[in-house]
Structure 1
Amino acid sequence: MSTEQFVHDWRDWKTAREEDLAAPHGWLALVSLDWLQEVPRRYAGIPGLWWQDAEAAYLDPEDAELTHEGAPVTGVRRFELVNSGAGTRVSAGDVEIEVARRSGYLIRVHDPKAPVLRDFHGVPAYEPAPDWVLTGVFEPFDEPRPTTVGAVVPGLSHVYTAPGVVRFEHDGVEHALTAFNGKADGLSILFTDATSGVTTYPANRSLSVPAPDADGRVVLDFNRAVNLPCAFTDFATCPLPPEGNRLAFAVEAGEKLPHERES
């Protein structure tokens, strides 16, 4: 592939990435985060009564007009979710109330009028460079390993399944990064490096890696390393990289510290 085509493809990817971030009910639309308690209660700006027990979260809509998965919520609704997994959403007018399980249950509001979303004007990034497309090898574990990692929220942890490690060389030195399951049989790698806290977000960046080929080879395109939602908003509970996923060298590729964090 020519350098011109490489840059063109990267710019198309970056445009799609920023359009996804700017979705009206996406991560930049978050305006609040509340942790549920065992006693039903109301939360500022959120209709209904909310609470949790050891297994699930609950919503009593009272007189509010709420919908879940396209259907009106007319009575007490129970939400039993996977810890650290995907949430579900309740619609209230033009906002969406996300319910998620992060050890305990939380609710957070996605508002298309959110100031962060309103003021969003793209994500700073290093200029694309073919030199930051590296080849590695995926080495699967004998059995996938549940792996506990910290979070940007103190005292919180996440548990993900790690199918193996990715080994690659940079400047003649071998490195190994624990990989989690990604999309479409691919892998997801959380990492920090020598740019973290300098030109990139301190806590983490994420790299999606396409599925390994028949020989276990993978492509690590660090030009497409992205910020997690916590880089843009204080209402995210993003995971930290697993132990050992700090690279000693500077990965001067991919997304930089967002404008929202420059102050």
Structure 2
Amino acid sequence: MTILDIDTFAQEWAAWHEHHETVRADPHGFLAITGLHWLTAEPQRVPGAPGEWWTGPDGVVVRLAEDESLLVDGQPVHGEHSFGVLPERGGVSPVAGDAVIEVARRGGSDVVRPRHPDSPVLAAYPGTPAYEPDPRWQLTGTYVPFDEPRPTTVGAVVEGLQHVYDAPGRIEFELDGQALSLTAFNGATEGSLFVLFTDQTSGVTTYAANRSLKVDAPAADGTVVLDFNRATNLPCAYTEFATCPLPPEGNHLPVAVEAGEKKPVG
């Protein structure tokens, strides 16, 4: 790269990082979570949320007292309300005052996670340090699709919890002459991918459990760009109320990826 190209590369990374930090510090983002509550068939009060909550074959139900209410899809709800059966990794976000009450399904169980903008974790968030952007860590790889998507079970930061993802393929690439590969999962947008990985910096300068990297949809010839400068921490690096997945077997890189986000401060 020319000096001009390197300057542009650094500026684009800085803009990306600033946006990512803004999203992370959203008043109702993961830093705003004040508790993680696993629902059972027994109605329970959830600190930071109105009503009694339980779950069963027909899904999550809340029973609100006379002086309590929720906004669901912008409409006020009183008394007893059923949210139905939630899809795995799906959820809804009713509103209670200035709080959002996340209702979600994770690892086959239903959970409630209140999100309050005055959360102490959010109020004290100092930002996340990161390695300086370096073009060396922007790599070209090849996406190799599997014949059929492979259901892949991974662990979680919550002991005993497991997540199952369909892995559509793997990404092969080289770093300093060493052939490497990572199992990929489907991303949030059509055709995109993401990888969960650890490397030799994990637990040293970067978060021990995992980091995540988004990958744009492969080109027609299978080419993809792996920009490890944009490797990010998952919510579990910041809060004990997350249920983040761990990387699949084989996604530990035997190199020190000195790029992307580092351990959170504190």
Q: Provide TM-score, normalisation by structure 2.
A: 0.95
Q: Number of aligned residue pairs: give it.
A: 259
CA offset at residue 146 of structure 1? Answer: 1.5
CA distance in 2, matches of 1:6, 1:238: 30
Deviations 1:106-133 (A, max 9, x none): 1011100011111122110000000000
Partner of 1:246: 252
After TM superposition, where is structure 1 displaced by more than 6 Å over at least 4 residues in a row?
Answer: none
- Name stretches of at least 5 consecutive residues in structure 2 with no aligned partner: none
Residue pair 2:34, 2:48 contacting (<8 A) in 1 also: no
Partner of 1:20: 23
Identity across aligned pairs (percent)? 55
CA distance in 2, matches of 1:131, 1:44: 47
CA offset at residue 169 of structure 1? Answer: 0.5
Partner of 1:171: 176
Partner of 2:98: 94
Partner of 2:80: 76
Q: Secondary structure at the match of 1:4?
A: helix
CA distance in 2, matches of 1:87, 1:160: 17
Partner of 1:32: 35
Indicate which of 191, 205, 208 corresponds to 1:199: 205
CA offset at residue 177 of structure 1? Answer: 0.6
User: Is 1:111 matched up with 2:116?
Assistant: yes
User: Is 1:58 matched up with 2:61?
Assistant: yes
- Name stretches of at least 5 consecutive residues in structure 1 with no aligned partner: none
RMSD of aligned residue pairs (Cα, Å): 1.1
CA distance in 2, matches of 1:12, 1:174: 31
> Residue 140 of structure 1 aligns to which amino acid in structure 2?
P
CA distance in 2, matches of 1:70, 1:22: 23
Q: Secondary structure at the match of 2:50?
A: strand
Matches within 5 A, 1:84-233: 85-102=89-106, 103-184=108-189, 185-233=191-239
Residue pair 2:201, 2:258 contacting (<8 A) in 1 also: yes
Residue pair 2:35, 2:47 contacting (<8 A) in 1 also: no
CA offset at residue 43 of structure 1? Answer: 2.2
CA distance in 2, matches of 1:180, 1:92: 34
CA offset at residue 55 of structure 1? Answer: 4.9
CA offset at residue 183 of structure 1? Answer: 2.6
Deviations 1:20-40 (A, max 9, x none): 011110011111111111011
CA offset at residue 44 of structure 1? Answer: 2.6
CA distance in 2, matches of 1:136, 1:104: 36
CA distance in 2, matches of 1:128, 1:215: 27
CA offset at residue 57 of structure 1? Answer: 1.2
CA offset at residue 138 of structure 1? Answer: 0.3
CA distance in 1, matches of 2:80, 2:151: 34
CA distance in 1, matches of 2:118, 2:39: 24
Q: Provide TM-score, normalisation by structure 1.
A: 0.96
Q: Secondary structure at the match of 2:94?
A: strand
